[in-house]
Amino acid sequence: MYSIRQETMRDYIEDQNVVTIKQLQALFPEVSLMTIHRDLDSLEKAGAVVKFRGGAKSVRHAGDVEFNIRMQANNPGKSIMARKALSLLQPHSAIFLDASTTNLALAKVLPDMNLNIFTTGPSIALELCRLHNPVVTMCCGTMNRKNLALSGQNTLKMLENINIDLAFIGVSGCSVEAGFTCGTEADMLVKRMVIQKARTSVLMCGRDKLSCLMPYTFAKFEDVDYLISDEPMPDDFIQAAQGAGVILL
């Protein structure tokens, strides 16, 4: 049987979907870190939550939100970020677009210029068919029907052999403590490898993502070169970015 504290913890995790240990410590400042871990262990054993390193998630939460739902979210903000991203493009460069809906917005406004474009997003590749000059390459892999993204060992193997000048990466959730997060391990591995391979990495992170936190961290501030947002970020976020040498757009 749950204690009152565990019931509160369970309800909080269900409401937030994903939480960090630091958030739980702030919620229960009167108990020790060990007690919080014991409570999470009890909740996980009861099937109420799923623990992961540094936090826990609701059992109702299953990775990224479906593609068609994300397509309806913050479209004005995605357009703002896409327009900002255009300023970073250089002709004859190799760019990578992950399968985020923000990158789909970028694909819709991309000019017809000479580029080598690699993407893990089938919808992005189809959108780019309207252009004549870019060479568009789909990164092979297994498609997640929920988020319409390609990932897996075949994707990672292909990325090993690609030289990327500029990578645009979508963000599902972020915080100063956890960094930049996504909903599945497969997507995390792709995003992390692309950031390592790219000469310049650009994260597309709307202000609305500050209220989300997903299970898998794929980058910290020090891994990023540019951060594009639709609205000004909070002071602590700006300080963390500037302290890591990130250029904010």
The mean pLDDT value for 166-173 works out to 94
Q: Taking a C-beta distance cutoff of 8 angstroms, is the pair 56, 40 a contact?
A: yes
pLDDT tens-digit map of 196-219: 999 999 999 998 888 677 778 999
Residue with tokens 């989300």: 212
What size, in residues, is the chain? 249
| 8-12-14-15 Cα dihedral, nearest 10 degrees | 130
- Against a cut of 0.85, is the pTM above it? no
Compute φ and ψ for 139, nearest 5 degrees.
Answer: -80, 125
Tens-place pLDDT, residues 85-135: 999 999 999 999 999 999 999 999 999 999 999 999 999 999 999 999 999
